[in-house]
Amino acid sequence: MKFLKGLGVFILTIVLFLSTLGLLILIPIKSTLSKDTIKNTITNLDIAKMIKESPEIESAINEMFEPLYEQARDFGIDEDVVVKIIDSKEVKGLVGGIAGNLVDYVVTGENQKIVSTNDISTLVGSVLDDIDESGFYKFKDDEKSKILGAVEEQVNNYQDLLPDTSIIEDTLDKDSDAKEIKEGLELIRFILGNNLIIYLVVAMLVSVLGILGLKFKKAKWIKTVAITVLVAGIFALLTTFGLKFVGDILVEEVKEIPFMNVLINKPINFSFILSGTITLLMIVTLIVYTVLKNKKPEEKEA
């Protein structure tokens, strides 16, 4: 019986360790790849500053914007003006929304419009606000409402013409050599999907309750759970250090892609904070547990 109990505690401890480690690694990555994070990351980019500070980024952006520059030259518009327009919060917000929706489809498989009615309305609303603030023209509240209403109505009328995010998979379906890419998409959706997070949380809770039941006497379960989570936290920190090393290499390799630096470092920084916090909490828990345990014999003697 004692052997079976020990075996049960060992298995539950392994499950707790793996589920905790999985959550500590997955949650930061999943958070970073959310469409809101992608949109905010792109919206907050200072493109003009990055062009000024990095020749590699300047070269990459010039190559990317060359078709726009050519059109602008035809109208006698300077390249700096084009950069200023692209660097506006409205344009970056729209581009960020599109990128966020596409990444969200890759991660979740949930189909949606690449550009939503809300994205376009927000863009128009921001432009109207900027015109207001510039003093070029002062819109009355009812004028803004009428303009935004007309924009939403027109966008809704042409909603069917807007492409869906599933265009990614439709493109892959037409390519007979894209089987491995589609399998990769399915793997990404499983790893970063909500179901795996739920499974890990359930496994973590079940293992904690199981350890509690098997080691309830003298609150030994607290020590077992705290040490297991502490070790998982340390492993997560070590993994994060490894990812930081790899991330620095990747950032150097793709430094001409403006927002990749943020997307690579953001989950690493989040993981440092999350894993570090959990590790610190478990150390405090073990210290409190040890102090209280050592006090009990003294109280009995008194």
Mean of the per-residue pLDDT values of the chain = 77
Residues 106-123, mean pLDDT to the nearest whole number: 73
Residue 271 near residue 236 (C-beta atoms within 8 A)? yes
Looking at the predicted structure, is the pLDDT value of residue 296 above 60?
Answer: no
Residue 219 near residue 289 (C-beta atoms within 8 A)? yes
CA distance 81 to 131: 17
Note the pLDDT tens digit of each residue in 8-20: 888 999 999 999 9
Q: Which two tokens stand for residue 286?
A: 């073990």
CA distance 298 to 294: 7
Please indicate whether residue 132 or residue 38 has the higher confidence score (pLDDT).
38
Please indicate whether residue 240 or residue 72 has the higher confidence score (pLDDT).
240
Please indicate whether residue 235 or residue 100 has the higher confidence score (pLDDT).
235
Give the pLDDT score at 12: 92
- Confidence label for 86 from pLDDT (cuts 50, 70 and 90): confident
Give the pLDDT score at 136: 58
| SS3 state of residue 166 | coil
Look up residue 186 and give its amino acid.
E
What number of other Cβ atoms are within 10 A of residue 14's Cβ? 12
Give the pLDDT score at 302: 42
Residues 8-35, mean pLDDT to the nearest whole number: 88
Q: Which two tokens stand for residue 66?
A: 């060359």
Give the pLDDT score at 257: 57
Give the pLDDT score at 34: 80
Looking at the predicted structure, is the pLDDT value of residue 26 above 80?
Answer: yes
Give the pLDDT score at 301: 46
